Chains A and B, each alone.
Chain A
């Protein structure tokens, strides 16, 4: 039976302790979930960290991994970010080979995407771009005409835009 996969982003508030990331990530791994993107960061509460995980799952398995994660002693709360009501961002660093003649064309693309050239050498440059994953994908697609050397992305981080913090 075909079960459609849904891509979701969950936000997990965890105790700020050693090994916490391992506990959460290994749970995803052993329950058979492939993580598409993962970020871990401090919060305004020094005792808590936030893990943002993007992954695909069927609706039933989504419920399963959420309730399993909830059971971990180190997890304070976990919730699916409401797609229409959240802000997601990801940061991209992209190194591209660029001769003097190519620079202008690349700068034009970077400006359209409102990125920044943060490093420039005789024959390459590093571009910084922040935005949704879709925007970053689009930028990479356009840049693929050029000689990309290396790419690094931070993974998604996100917050719901309602005023009240959720489940703290």
Chain B
């Protein structure tokens, strides 16, 4: 059948099973948006406040559903507004396909109105991108984009189409999605060698990252650690991979990780890294990271091997594939002494409160965990509240904690929460943010209101840019440069102005009451929680230091 480029875009999305997309229209994208109007019974397009919100929404949709997030934008400023969102997805290996429309081909290179070379701009923050100025190349580029986004280590792909191509006509025949690139073949020798290392270890630790979620390997991981009695530490990206109340779960490792997790890796004789990349927020001092241990690294991306920390033995492949193959080779055993030591550290975790504390972040996180069910999705912004959420929420399942790890994007949360809610219309989505981050993205409240999304936003409001403020307290002699903005924002009124509901809480009883009311609302609710500005994220290991230098009070 003969179709226009715009129809082909819609048809390829249908081929790929896409039923939800996010975006914002504009001059060059008019043909595509005209087609989205006609396809609106099959593809639901969510209009956001700006393209950055749309990109984060596509990302949050992908993180919470495991499907590919799709985002549309027009040329120029629309396309550049996607940049932060694509970079966020890139750093955390999230499959997103961005479709941008550029000026007509005859205007390319002439600094036309709203012309930007977005393929050049996004080259370092996408897995790949396409510039399509010929209708004959369109469908292949789109199909390849989905294939690349989901093959191997996942990530964002951008397809930039000139406006003339969206109107051009071509014969089109629907096709099934392309096969993903084959997974690397795991070497049997590697499995034998690594299983011997595991069986010989007396103090093993599994250090797990987002790769475990991407390869859907959580059940296999649980089987391995329970069979071989291996304590687990997780990166920020892997919160929920193992249930919080599993005895072997030592919590998060790294700068704001638990004492137990950081100690365990420091004292271990074997560290098994699964889909984790030894980032500078985990291996704060790469020379001394797991210094007593042999390190085994399993990753689907060969370039991660020996990138940050030199390891003993590697296996390049899919985590679930690796775990399935190694579990039968691993001895069923107990490391009694090690187990006891590790659990001992776990019991010593403590909470530090500022003297004037009326409402502590841990209390809020506990209420959020206890008053919601296991399907609840928590989405954060970036800063202190993010770390408190990572530390104190009772993470029960994977893909239920959505956060910007690698890029640390303040302003990620609300858009991502909208994406998560669109992907899970029946589940509760809670957006945890700080007053700093929320000022960067609260414009997306209009999207939540228009779509009647019952997202509950919990603002940990300390009236300072808390994480930077904390560093200034500890390392900069309390010189609070530009972290105390003296804003007078009344979040309850702002919420109401957007057509949402707003509550305020200054102690835990008020918070419980407000949260309870929020749970009964059918649209978006904000709860402004007054937190003391001197509340710090503890424990903390300063950058470049080791567990020996951990600040715990």
Residues of A within 8 A of B (CB): 18-19, 22-23, 26-27, 30, 60, 63-64, 67-68, 70-74
Q: Are A67 and B305 in contact (CB under 8 A)?
A: yes
Centre residue among A18, A30, A63, A71 by max chain B CB count within 10 A? A71
Q: Which of A27, A63, A67, A73 contacts B127 (CB 8 A)?
A: A73
Q: Is A60 in contact with B306, judged by CB distance below 8 angstroms?
A: yes
State whether A73 touches B128 (Cβ < 8 A). Answer: yes
Shortest distance from the beta carbon of A101 to any chain B beta carbon, whole Å: 52
Closest residue of B by beta carbon distance from A30? B124
Asked if B124 and A26 sit within 8 Å, CB to CB, the answer is: yes
A–B Cβ pairs within 8 angstroms, 22 of them: A19-B120, A19-B131, A22-B120, A23-B123, A26-B124, A30-B124, A60-B306, A64-B303, A64-B306, A64-B307, A67-B302, A67-B303, A67-B305, A68-B303, A70-B303, A71-B127, A71-B301, A71-B303, A72-B128, A73-B127, A73-B148, A74-B128
When C-beta atoms are compared, the residue in chain B nearest to A29 turns out to be B124
CB distance from B244 to the nearest CB of A (A): 35
Residue of A nearest to B305 (CB): A67
* CB–CB A63/B124 < 8 A: no
Distance (Å) between the CB of B287 and the closest chain A CB?
Answer: 8
Give bound CA distance, A144 to B153, whole Å: 52
A107 nearest CB across to chain B (Å): 48
Structural contact, A19 and B124, CB atoms closer than 8 A: no
Chain B residues with Cβ under 8 A from A67's Cβ? 302-303, 305
Collect the chain B residues with CB atoms within 8 Å of residue A60's CB.
Answer: 306, 310
What's the tally of chain B residues with a CB closer than 8 Å to chain A?
A: 15
Query: How many Å lie between the Cα of A22 and that of B301 in the bound state?
Result: 23
List the interface of chain B (C-beta within 8 A of A). Answer: 119-120, 123-124, 127-128, 131, 148, 301-303, 305-307, 310
Q: Which residues of B lie under 8 Å from residue A72 when comparing CB positions? A: 128
The residue from B120, B124, B128, B302 contacting A70, defined by CB atoms under 8 A apart: B302
Q: In this complex, which of A19, A27, A68, A72 has the most chain B Cβ atoms within 10 angstroms of its Cβ? A: A19
Given A64-B306, A73-B148, are A19 and B119 also a contact pair (CB < 8 Å)? yes
- Chain A residues lying within 8 Å of B120, measured Cβ to Cβ, are 19, 22
Residues of chain A within 8 A of B127, CB atoms compared: 71, 73
C-alpha gap A133/B120 in the complex (Å): 33
Residue in chain A with minimal CB distance to B120: A22
Q: What chain A residues lie within 8 Å of B148 (beta carbons)?
A: 73
Return chain B residues, CB-CB under 8 Å to A23.
Answer: 123
Set of chain B residues within 8 Å of A70, measured between Cβ atoms: 302-303
Pairs of residues from A and B, 5 with the lowest C-beta to C-beta distance, nearest first: A67-B303, A73-B128, A68-B303, A67-B302, A30-B124
Which residues from B are CB-within-8-Å of A27? 124
Q: Which residues of B contact A19 (CB under 8 A)?
A: 119-120, 131
Q: Measured between alpha carbons, how far is A68 from B303 in the docked complex, in Å?
A: 6
Q: What is the CB-to-nearest-CB distance from A30 to chain B, in angstroms, rounded to a whole number?
A: 6
A73–B156 CA distance with the chains assembled, in angstroms: 13
Chain B residue numbers with a CB within 8 Å of A68 are: 303
The distance from the CB of A125 to the nearest CB of chain B, in whole angstroms, is 41
User: CA A27 – CA B125 in complex, angstroms?
Assistant: 11
Decide: A63 and B306 in contact? CB cutoff 8 A. yes
Given A23-B123, A71-B301, 8 other A-B contacts at CB below 8 A?
A19-B131, A26-B123, A30-B124, A64-B306, A67-B302, A70-B302, A71-B303, A72-B128
